[in-house]
Structure 1
Amino acid sequence: MIEAVGLTKRYGAKTAVYNLSFQVRPGAVTGFLGPNGSGKSTTMRMILGLDQPTSGHVTIGGHPFRQLPNAPRQVGALLDAKAVHGGRSARNHLLSLAQLAGIPARRVDEVLGVVGLQDVAKRRSKGFSLGMGQRLGIAAALLGDPQVLLFDEPVNGLDPEGILWVRNLMKKLASEGRTVFVSSHLMSEMALTADHLIVIGRGQLLADMSVKDFISANSADFARVRTPQTAPEQREKLTGVLTEAGGQVLSEPDGAMRVTGLALPRISDLAHDADVRLWELSPHQASLEEAYMRMTQAAVDYRSTEDQLAGLQQPVPPGYAPPQPVIPEVPQQGWYAPPPPGQNPYAGAPAAAPVAPQAAPAVPPAAAPAPAPAAAPDLTKRENDEDAR
């Protein structure tokens, strides 16, 4: 278990983390969320003993990281996938880490298979893509078979298959009773992976609760109701009935109604009693992204503004259509066939055909005169001419 108590970190006049206290329990995937600059990376570095807290403390299994015996066998972490010597192969990189921690060499081949890099184990890591680097970093975290794992943006650069693999890996590790702490900006992925959330903003704790409770506490559930578009009087009638029953009705951009304060069965009964036909009656629960944005909107440090040059573009005249390039037709065969002579649109004007010279009378090889030797240049005459000048 990871436990932080009053964790504070200051860099000069800037306070990156302030009085942060939380627990990361085993057997569950705990998501670590927060805007850019909120102190997530600093907190993870303090957990791993890479940064010293200004005040407070953080422990893993009741001990600071630096006091853990053979820490790589107890804690695995992925903070920066690029922290690899580019000249080493994937296997040699993991082998060096294993030798430092006293881990058998056979474990290197095992984790290479787990992350899917067994076929490129002998390639130098400097030629790896971003996703391959992430897989190598995850392999390094799993090398010591630790009980506590920390991952910072583990799906960065992975394709959909890789993202699904990481999601299942996190759940599997947690199901084995391990402590899994994952930082990510992908709300959709956190909603599918995490069981518990720790949310911070500007270095302070904002939420420490389950994903379900977090969404419920930071969003308002409502019902979408739609009546026939050809009968606006039924919409008005239903609006009055729902309002009288204590509901709040708002119009949606697509013509539906957003109803809060009434349960779905109650809405259905009121519409039936009022003889109003419904085309849609569906519950809506906010997503993790909506709830997260609502909670952290006041803790965002970097906000974009409108582009001041957005309205300075020349308006397009009405009816104007850009000229379409003329593309020559290409034969539909499976192989390319050149166009017939005279029909190639990329060829220039045909050059005039050269006049064939008349054939000279044949001379027997024996009677052919030998070519005269080339006359040597008269250097004396050239020197006299230069002197005359």
Structure 2
Amino acid sequence: MIEAVGLTKRYGDKTAVYNLSFQVRPGAVTGFLGPNGSGKSTTMRMILGLDNPTAGAVTIGGYPYRKLPNAPRQVGALLDAKAVHGGRSARNHLLSLAQLSGIPARRVDEVLGVVGLQEVAKKRSKGFSLGMGQRLGIAAALLGDPQVLLFDEPVNGLDPEGILWVRNLMKALAAEGRTVFVSSHLMSEMALTADHLIVIGRGQLLADMSVRDFISANSADFARVRTPDTEPQLREKLGSALAEAGGHVLPEQDGALRVTGLALPRISDVAHEAGVRLWELSPHQASLEEAYMRMTQGAVDYRSTADQKAGLQQPLPPGAQPPMPVPGQGQPGWYAPPPPQQGGQPFAMPAPGAAPAGPYDGAQAGGHGAPGGPSAGAPNPYAQPASQAPQAPQGQAPAPAAAVPPPAPQQAPVAAPADLTKPEDPR
């Protein structure tokens, strides 16, 4: 069993953990939850004796980690899967750990089989993927067959099959009477794996209870009720009847009703007495993620803000070339994608005061498919000024604008073969 009493850790002016007390009991998977920067990793390091607490104490089986006889055979931990010498093979890494702890070499091959790395046991760990590194770290934690196990984000980088394997492994270890302490940010996985939860925020304890009690204490259960869509008057009638019976009714966006304060049998009785047919009557319980977000919303240190994309856009540098003109653009029947941009710019910036153009500017300018005909007031950032319009050769009448087809894509000039550039032989 792991027991922390008044655990406190300060780094200068920053308090990472403050007066934290909890117990991790054997025979169950205990989830350790909290936002980034809440002190989870610091707490685990103090449990393993890697950091000394400023105040308080934490023990494993009644002893501090450093006073445990042959601690690696009593406690296994995965804190950083990358803490491996990249030049060693997976087997040699585990073999060196086994020799330091007096563990038989045959145990190395056993745990390699447990984590599924027996086929790559002789490969250097620096070539391992993130998921393979996680498996190797779990193998190191299991090496001494310990009774107490600590895992920090054990499913990080694993594929769905690997996540399912870790979940079953945690449950199997706890079923054998071991103490299993797991830190994770995957709420859906914790809901399927953990039996008990310890939640901290900004270094302080927020909750220490079972998963079921945690969800019930931090969420409001409700019933979802739906009447026939073809008879909207029944929905109003049922809502009034439920409100008179003491329920709190809120409409849902899809036309259903969210009812709190009444049990499902009572809702059914009220609907029957009101003569209302029901298409749906189902209970709804918040997920672990919803309950967790509700509890920790005031303990989050890192919050994102709106992405102000307009602030990332810079004007074109002086002397930059404008977009290539497209003859006939904006005329009835015209349709073409925007022209290629010049100067290496990924997007052409419109002139000051011009409205932005969409990917199909012809539709905005009253082209093909634009309802209502041409819009004379809509400026076109890609349209060529009248003063720069191409002139027809002298003596020829200019062709109508609508008859000018879009120009073909320009291709790089092809160099002539070398023998064609030589002067002809006079003979």
In the alignment, structure 1 residue 172 sits paired with structure 2 residue 191: no
Please name the residue that 1:146 is paired with: 146
| Greater Cα shift, 266-275 or 141-150 | 266-275
Residue aligned with 1:38, SS = coil
C-alpha distance in structure 2 between counterparts of 1:142 and 1:318, whole Å: 57
Tell me the amino acid that sits aligned with residue 296 of structure 2.
T
Task: Report which of the two structures shows the higher radius of gyration computed on alpha carbons.
Answer: 1
Task: Provide the rounded CA distance (Å) in 2 between the counterparts of 1:308 and 1:98.
Answer: 54
Which residue of structure 2 aligns with residue 386 of structure 1? none
Count of paired positions: 335
Partner of 2:256: 256
Farther off after superposition, 213-222 or 226-235: 226-235
Name the counterpart of 2:278: 278
Does the residue aligned with 2:298 lie in a helix, a strand or coil? helix
Q: 1:232 to 1:352 in 2, by over 3 A?
A: farther
Instruction: Give the match for residue 289 of structure 2.
Output: 289
Residues 288-310 of structure 1: per-residue CA shift (max 9 Å, x gap)? 00000000000000011111226
Distance 1:353 1:140, change over 3 A: same
Q: Could you tell me which amino acid in structure 2 is paired with residue 143 of structure 1?
A: L
Give 2:215's aligned residue: 215
1:241-288 Cα offsets, whole Å, 9 max, x none, are 000000001111222111000011111111111111111111000000
CA distance change for structure 1 residues 312 and 62 in 2, over 3 Å: closer, same or farther?
A: closer
In 2: Cα distance, 1:14 partner to 1:318 partner: 51
Q: Deviations over 1:23-72 (max 9, x none)?
A: 00000000000000000000000000000000000000000000000000
Report the counterpart of residue 22 of structure 1 in structure 2: 22
Spell out, residue by residue over 1:356-375, the C-alpha distance to the aligned partner (whole angstroms, 9 max, x if none). Answer: xxxxxxxxxxxxxxxxxxxx
Aligned to 2:394: none
Partner of 2:118 in structure 1? Answer: 118
The offset of 1:352, in angstroms, is: 12
Q: Secondary structure at the match of 2:281?
A: strand
1:237 aligns with 2:244: no
Q: Which residue of 2 aligns with 1:11?
A: 11
Tell me whether 1:158 sits opposite 2:158 in the alignment: yes
C-alpha separation in 2, matches of 1:100 and 1:349 = 71
Tell me, yes or no, if structure 1 residue 109 matches structure 2 residue 109: yes
Distance in 1, Cα, partners of 2:140 & 2:269: 59
In structure 1, C-alpha distance between the alignment counterparts of 2:360 and 2:232, rounded to whole Å:
37
Write the letter of the residue equivalent to 1:39. Answer: G
What is the rounded CA distance, in whole Å, between the counterparts of 2:260 and 2:140 in structure 1? 50
Separation (CA, whole Å) in 2 of partners of 1:103 and 1:264: 58
What code does the residue aligned with 2:213 have?
D
Distance 1:42 1:312 in 2: 37
* 1:349 positional shift: 11
Runs of 4+ displaced beyond 3 Å: 310-322, 348-354
Cα RMSD (Å) of the superposition? Answer: 2.3
- Taking the aligned partners of 1:13 and 1:321, their CA distance within structure 2 comes to 61
The aligned runs of 1:372-383 (5 Å cut-off) are: none
Partner of 2:45: 45
- Rate the CA distance shift 1:188–1:351 in 2: closer, same or farther, 3 A: same
Secondary structure of the residue aligned to 1:206 is strand
Query: How many Å apart are 1:170 and its aligned residue?
Result: 0.1
Counterparts in 2 of 1:308 and 1:26: CA distance versus 1, 3 Å: same
Aligned to 2:56: 56
Superposition map of 1:338-357 within 5 A: none
TM superposition shift of 1:316: 4.8
User: How big is the shift at 1:230?
Assistant: 1.8
AA paired with 2:108?
A: V
Between the aligned partners of 1:173 and 1:318, the Cα distance in structure 2 is 57
Give the fraction of aligned pairs with identical amino acids, expressed as a percent. 86
2:304 aligned counterpart, secondary structure: coil
Q: Secondary structure at the match of 1:219?
A: coil
Residues 13, 352 of structure 1: alpha-carbon distance in 2 compared, 3 angstrom cutoff: closer
Q: What letter matches 2:225 in structure 1? A: V
Shift of 1:194: 0.1
TM-aligned CA distance change 1:235 to 1:349, over 3 Å: farther
Which SS does the other structure have where 2:31 is aligned? strand
**1:154/1:255 CA distance change after superposition, 3 Å:** same
- Equivalent residue letter for 2:253: P
Change (3 A) 1:316 1:267: farther
Relative to structure 1, the CA distance from residue 168 to residue 351 in structure 2 (aligned partners, 3 Å threshold; closer, same or farther) is same
Q: Which has the higher contact order (CA 8 A, sep 6+)?
A: 1
Q: Distance in 1 between matches of 2:249 and 2:278?
A: 15
Structure 1 residue ranges without an equivalent (≥5):
323-344, 355-389
Distance 1:85 1:319 in 2: 55
Distance 2:108 2:237 in 1: 70
Q: Which amino acid aligns with 2:47?
A: I
The corresponding residue for 1:78 is 78
TM-score w.r.t. length of structure 1: 0.82
Quote the Cα distance in structure 2 between the aligned partners of 1:212 and 1:24.
Answer: 17
Counterpart of 1:302 in structure 2: which amino acid?
Y
Shift of 1:353: 11
> How far apart in 2 are the matches of 1:316 and 1:279?
47
CA change 1:317–1:127 in 2 (3 A) is: closer
TM-score (normalizing by structure 2)? 0.75
Aligned match of 1:380 = none
Return the alpha-carbon distance in structure 2 between the equivalents of residues 247 and 310 of structure 1: 47
The amino acid of 2:189's aligned partner reads E
Distance 1:312 1:320 in 2: 23
3-state SS of paired residue (2:77) = strand
Uncovered stretches (5+) of structure 2, i.e. residues with no partner: 314-354, 364-410, 421-427
**What one-letter code is carried by the residue in structure 2 that aligns with 1:210?**
S
- 1:156 is aligned with what amino acid? N
